[in-house]
Structure 1
Amino acid sequence: MAQKEVISIPSYENVNETISIVDSTSQRVAVINFKNKLISAYLLDKDFNVLESIVTKPLPNKLKSVIAHQFQNKKLSLFMNTSSNRKYATAVFDFETGNCTTHEIDFKLKKEIFFTTFSRDDKIFIVSVSKKGSQLNIYEFYKNLNEPKKTEIKIPENTFLDRFGDSVDLKDVLSDSYKNGFMVSPVTIQKNLPATIEKTRRPLKIYLTEKGFDVTVDTWLKSTFLLNVSLEDMTVDVSEFKYPKPDGFIARVKANSFLFDDNLFQIIMGSDEMLFSVFSSQTKELRKEILLKKGDEIDFRNTPIVQNGGAFESFRYLENTKQFFRKSLDADIGLSVIKKNEIYEITFGSVKEIEDPVVLYFVVGGVVGGTVSLLVRDLLDYRLTKSVEFRSLFSNKIEHLEGNVSPNLFDKIGKFTKGIKLKSETLFQFNGSYYYGHYNLDRNTYLIYKIIKD
């Protein structure tokens, strides 16, 4: 794959970690390199010329990770949580003055559990779930990042029912088991970027939308729940997509889902059968259903069944569907969807629990968190996944298509970085193109490349 070097930043001290943040309004990019003894921050224009730079001492140890950000002209505010996970603070890089300042924010969650955070329209949002009842709490932080505006979104009682017909609180729906369970950490899905099965196997997935965000829930309630949250009118709509009843399936099935466009893709697997269904997320109409039995050939796949070994080009092929079932029933299942040239590319697969790739790669400091630098975390996730999977192509009408599956963005990066000792990688989208960076130990330089489209 072709790539073009767009900037090289000298650094005579090893770069431990890098975050890149795009300001689409001003057409600028901030690149921040975290080192042992200092931090180097650069503000770049659309042609990757350095406009301003800051060299400052490391952030206080109590600041744990960047979970959101806010750009205001030449001032970048990083919204961070503290090591206790109960307090929040900001680190402000003022490229106008060349200074970096930090201060704690007088904000705590009370009788609620943190759910997610993201940035939008110069605002920072924190979303929490009340410990009792079914209520989402939306906190909006404006330019001063001090006193947030709080909005409570209540979900009607009896929206979620257990098998006895009793109402279940939202916190319990989002937990790994009913009552006394732990609330599951959600993952954020970026539309039309490859997401690994290691990521999509998670039962809670967040999808940022123009109006707010959606959540798919596949925990213990024998249904997929879809929550459509609007930040415009501060409402939530809940839809339920029931799993099939056990006739034809064992009572304990594995299940997961994925939201793309206005389609909810759902996969259910028992000991001898797998059911793949596609529903309209708006009307709940069933658009497609494929039943696969353990003894069948998978006639809707476009690639071999591959067992990935947790590294690019480390894999082996599985011979038949029975092997796919055996591996999947001993693991967590999932599926992911992207779209290329009006064709859906769907990955079906499973993965066993492995170490968190963010921990494996960001062992020094672990600054990246929340929805910051999602792309590079997805890349690292993709590189380290140990999964069993195959890919399929479908039309807009969800009809299977013949054809070859082309390499995705992460496959291409893996190809051109093969053999390079990689450190402090970054990956971001800017003006319709992708940019990849890493610290080059031989050149003592931080390099950023533009990924040229095929």
Structure 2
Amino acid sequence: MPDEIVPLVDEVNNRLALVLLRGKEIKGYLFNDKRELTAELNTEEKDREYKQILGQTILDNQDFVVFLTTKNRRKFASSRFSFNENIVEFNEIDLDLNNEKILQTADYNNKFHVLTIVPKTAIINIYRFNDGKNYSKFSIDFSDHSFVNHKQKTENLYDMVTTNSGFYGMQKSLDVVKIETDNPTTLEIASNPTKIYKNKNYITLTFDSNHSITQIVEIDLNTLKGSVIDIKKAMDNWEYKYKNSNSFLDKGTLYQIISTRRAFHLKAQKIHTGEIINEYSAHENEKIRFKNSSIVQTGGTFDNHREFEDTGKLLRKLNKGHSGIAVQNQGDLKLISYGGVLDQGTSPSFIPIPMPGLGIPIAGLGAVTVFINPTFFAYQSYTYTKAIKVDALFNSKFEHQEGTITENVFDKIEAFEDENRISPAGRTVFKLKDSYILGNYDAYKKTYTLRSFNP
């Protein structure tokens, strides 16, 4: 049985390399755009010190390159997978990040990028790899912009993306969640106040710890330049300490939720032009008109699914926890889920799973990190969701639409696993072109199976 499964997707040529790791043994299987097996690779890994995968890129000769790091992120290397030569070429990389923390990795224009934040500054460094080992360094300084935290005090960018950790809070841990807008996003993930997105050539950070504004840092991987945008939040007539808020970025539009004990407000606004597309409000004593579901509470210890219609009850629960909003594109419509999660310990019915900002670092578990396969991490979060939420359908003008909420692809995969008692051994979920792939190992048949699901 493999210890780890690493899917490597070539989005340009629609190829898939499936790498199975077992001890020092490496087996690789290459599939073409017709899902036909075209090549295999068998070799042994030279160095198990580098146990975490940061990302991948594709070379001009169609070889796959995987970038690796040690658990403490002090040393770096790459492995070139050549199915033509039946080899895995290992290269150590002369890269010293000192105490910089990795914010994001991105494969853009067949070049691998590592984005880091320099401690106690507003400097983001970009390391661009032209091949499997040689890189160029670029820096963007955002110190000319003031960032404001949840206490309405000015902080540098480093403090905005980190949180105190370790004994007596003497260490700093990254406090950012990675969002892939193609995947369904749970409110547990969306309720984190600091998010990072990749959309084509843009890497975007959003900050919502401050309840007066959403602060946006945008980095263009084409020009290697950055900008900062502030989007004001609604309900500024309410006293700051009674407000709760968050946002979600999708295709250049920022969707914000802000709530108090008496009301909540949704707003959609273009981040580059400032155009407000539309907005909605609901108060504690009135029914929510812009929804397509009941208010649903999931994750209870004894009752996993409860429904109600009381807006006041929703507001009281949001006021005790973290609000969130998430957007899924479904054809011409957008399924928008809004609500949130409660603080750990607020209620025995809510026991949040470990997630960045609420328990574990962004890296993830084992070799497969959120950098290399964010879809699997999104799916794991989805199948263990514990939140209170409302689902609603909107068109591109943020106008509410009548209709029935249909199951998404994660619902389909979860139902299939439950009905067919799929073994969790070697399980992975990843995106391949327009489909989602579920992989698992059958120990009895000694086979690894890939199954395709349409969104």
| TM-score, L = length of structure 2 | 0.86
Comparing 256-265 with 209-218, which one deviates more in the overlay? 209-218
Q: CA RMSD in A?
A: 3.0
1:225 aligns with 2:224: no
Deviation sequence 1:298-323 (CA, Å, 0-9, x none): 22110122222289x95222342233
Deviation sequence 1:44-100 (CA, Å, 0-9, x none): 122222222223345644223111112233532211110222221223322223222
3-state SS in 2 of match to 1:15: coil
Aligned length: 434
Match of 1:283 among 265, 268, 273: 273
Counterparts of residues 142-157 of structure 1 (less than 5 Å): 142-146=130-134, 148-157=135-144
- Match for 1:355: what amino acid? I
Relative to structure 1, is the Cα distance of residues 181 and 407 closer, same or farther in structure 2, using a 3 angstrom cutoff? same
CA distance in 1, matches of 2:286, 2:99: 51
1:430 aligns with 2:428: no
> How far is the alpha carbon of 1:244 from its aligned partner?
4.3
Deviation sequence 1:373-400 (CA, Å, 0-9, x none): 2212211111011111110011222111
Q: Is the 8 A contact 1:357 1:380 kept in 2?
A: no
Q: Is the 8 A contact 2:150 2:209 kept in 1?
A: no
Comparing 14-23 with 53-62, which one deviates more in the overlay? 53-62
What residue in structure 2 maps to residue 16 of structure 1?
3
What residue in structure 2 maps to residue 10 of structure 1?
none
Q: Percent identity?
A: 25
CA distance in 1, matches of 2:150, 2:376: 41
What residue in structure 2 maps to residue 77 of structure 1?
65
Relative to structure 1, is the Cα distance of residues 116 and 405 closer, same or farther in structure 2, using a 3 angstrom cutoff? same
Q: Is the 8 A contact 2:74 2:98 kept in 1?
A: no
Comparing 16-25 with 166-175, which one deviates more in the overlay? 166-175
Higher-RCO chain (CA-CA 8 Å, sequence separation at least 6): 1
CA distance in 2, matches of 1:116, 1:406: 32
Q: Is the 8 A contact 2:148 2:154 kept in 1?
A: yes
> How far is the alpha carbon of 1:213 from its aligned partner?
1.6
> How far is the alpha carbon of 1:435 from its aligned partner?
2.5
Counterparts of residues 177-196 of structure 1 (less than 5 Å): 182=172, 184-196=174-186
What residue in structure 2 maps to residue 258 of structure 1?
248
| TM-score, L = length of structure 1 | 0.86
CA distance in 1, matches of 2:161, 2:415: 38
In structure 2, runs of 5+ residues without a counterpart are 345-351
Relative to structure 1, is the Cα distance of residues 164 and 272 closer, same or farther in structure 2, using a 3 angstrom cutoff? closer
What residue in structure 2 maps to residue 407 of structure 1?
407
1:52 aligns with 2:52: no
In structure 1, runs of 5+ residues without a counterpart are 1-13
- Match for 1:112: what amino acid? E
What residue in structure 2 maps to residue 27 of structure 1?
14
What residue in structure 1 maps to residue 347 of structure 2?
none
Q: Is the 8 A contact 1:310 1:384 kept in 2?
A: no
- Match for 1:22: what amino acid? V
Q: Is the 8 A contact 2:149 2:160 kept in 1?
A: no
CA distance in 2, matches of 1:376, 1:370: 8
3-state SS in 2 of match to 1:257: strand
What residue in structure 2 maps to residue 3 of structure 1?
none
Match of 1:118 among 80, 97, 106: 106
CA distance in 2, matches of 1:450, 1:310: 31
Relative to structure 1, is the Cα distance of residues 204 and 357 closer, same or farther in structure 2, using a 3 angstrom cutoff? closer
What residue in structure 2 maps to residue 355 of structure 1?
353
CA distance in 2, matches of 1:132, 1:329: 32
Comparing 388-397 with 17-26, which one deviates more in the overlay? 17-26
Match of 2:122 among 125, 134, 156: 134
Comparing 36-45 with 259-268, which one deviates more in the overlay? 36-45
> How far is the alpha carbon of 1:259 from its aligned partner?
0.8
Q: Is the 8 A contact 1:249 1:271 kept in 2?
A: no
Q: Is the 8 A contact 2:92 2:133 kept in 1?
A: no
What residue in structure 2 maps to residue 11 of structure 1?
none
What residue in structure 2 maps to residue 7 of structure 1?
none
> How far is the alpha carbon of 1:133 from its aligned partner?
3.6
Q: Is the 8 A contact 1:175 1:219 kept in 2?
A: no
Deviation sequence 1:396-419 (CA, Å, 0-9, x none): 221111111111111111122224
Q: Is the 8 A contact 1:172 1:183 kept in 2?
A: no
Comparing 28-37 with 114-123, which one deviates more in the overlay? 28-37
CA distance in 2, matches of 1:317, 1:163: 32
Q: Is the 8 A contact 1:213 1:229 kept in 2?
A: yes
